Structure 1
């Protein structure tokens, strides 16, 4: 039968290591990526243990929150890839730190492609929306490799101005600049901000520690826009990759997530 022949071909390709990723899907309605009960629809990755999570870095609390302990480097990822979407993440910091004096740090990774750990053993090739204190909404290309060792093209273009510190910040109508590495700062990133634990920039729009911060990233047609607590803080175009999985990092600091979902973009 035709079905049997197709199944046999698929199994043969999988055995040969030629399994291709599913085509990214465009959400038709709101999708709760985290359901408040378990990790269904999500996968985890840690640099030191791979998909195994023996320390319980990722778990669901009794009151329905996603708890990321911060013990190790890695992420929780959607098991599906998405395109033309708006992702909403609501998070707050816990108590655990990495033991240093630097700001609490994590990230929302967009359009992630390639193998797990393909970027330094920790991340996937993607565009990061930074969640670090004082830097929420910065955009960072994360470059990694495919399974065959070839580089995954990652980059973005944005209109920028240089602050007094020499760092590029997004500004509509600024000078176009292409980023394949480095960090595109959000529009009102404080030039005098010192990245010290639990400090704030003078124009920060993220919530104070202990309160929930809402980050919304829209990825569509090779463009990404970032809103933090309703404020437009960053924007870029010519984004590569333009579709992929969505990840939340563990990066040494405890984090709680109450909302993690994708929404369709009106045509």
Structure 2
């Protein structure tokens, strides 16, 4: 595949926005959001806090890592989501010394517990792997085990799936789908950076856009399409921003509704 063709395939796709953007994060407080961690339940002892218009997500303290997230009160479908974030500090607990790791969970359904996260499709935010998909397992709203599926243009490299535009489409029901340029020598160590990484360097803001158009999801990092899937089993639900042992700052969480397909 020529470099020009690859660049065209990875360009952000045009999508018809149908209304004004909604600021899910108002830069003042956590109105419109709930919180949950394994360690604190639905209480929020400062794990998620707004300081000077910036959302600060604590990854943990001392030897403890927090696992959970903040989730929208409402469910959403058919939208463009923009999240601007940066990692700032160390990692905690069992994540100490490991890569800074959080994520954006889409189409969340089912209960919050007993595990850290609701059943969902994750757009991963992790050093070296921002834009990976993870099919987060769990229960549906009726308490039954949920069966994931999605279709992806992928190829196997070293026993893992990598998004590869133009490759044969595969139906995947579990696990991770790496973004196209994830370093094959990736290691779970703090500060890891691969040769093709699109995310910004540590301490700089990264812009992640997620386009949820019907049952398709496209992950865009700093303006470049890094991953895409179609025919997901989930297409509607809450949105959750994770805490997973790493401090992260967020300055924007913006949602723009899209024109629904067929309208």
Paired residue secondary structure (1:190): coil
Structure 2 match to 1:166: 159
Please point out which of 174, 180, 184 is paired with 1:187: 180
Structure 2 match to 1:82: 76
For residues 26-82 of structure 1, what are the alpha-carbon distances to aligned partners after superposition, in whole Å with 9 as ceiling and x for unaligned? 97321101000000011111112221113x100101x21011001211101111110
Q: Which runs of 5+ in 2 are unaligned?
A: 1-16, 61-65
Which structure dedicates a bigger proportion of its chain to strand? Answer: 2
Tell me by how many angstroms 1:147 deviates: 5.8
For 1:27 and 1:65, how far apart are their aligned partners in 2?
Answer: 28
User: Does residue 133 of structure 2 align to residue 128 of structure 1?
Assistant: no
For residues 215-266 of structure 1, what are the alpha-carbon distances to aligned partners after superposition, in whole Å with 9 as ceiling and x for unaligned? 0000111100010000110000011211111110000110000000101225
Which of the pair has more CA radius of gyration? 1
User: Does residue 104 of structure 2 align to residue 113 of structure 1?
Assistant: no
For 2:143 and 2:76, how far apart are their aligned partners in 1?
Answer: 24
Q: Which runs of 5+ in 1 are unaligned?
A: 1-25
- Structure 2 length-normalised TM: 0.86
The alignment yields a C-alpha RMSD, in angstroms, of: 1.6
Structure 2 match to 1:104: 100
Structure 2 match to 1:13: none
Paired residue secondary structure (1:257): strand
For 2:89 and 2:149, how far apart are their aligned partners in 1?
Answer: 34
Change (3 A) 1:266 1:214: same
Matched positions, count = 237
Structure 2 match to 1:67: 56
Runs of 4+ in 1 over 6 A off after TM superposition: none
Contact 2:91 2:98 in 1 (8 A): no
- Structure 1 length-normalised TM: 0.84
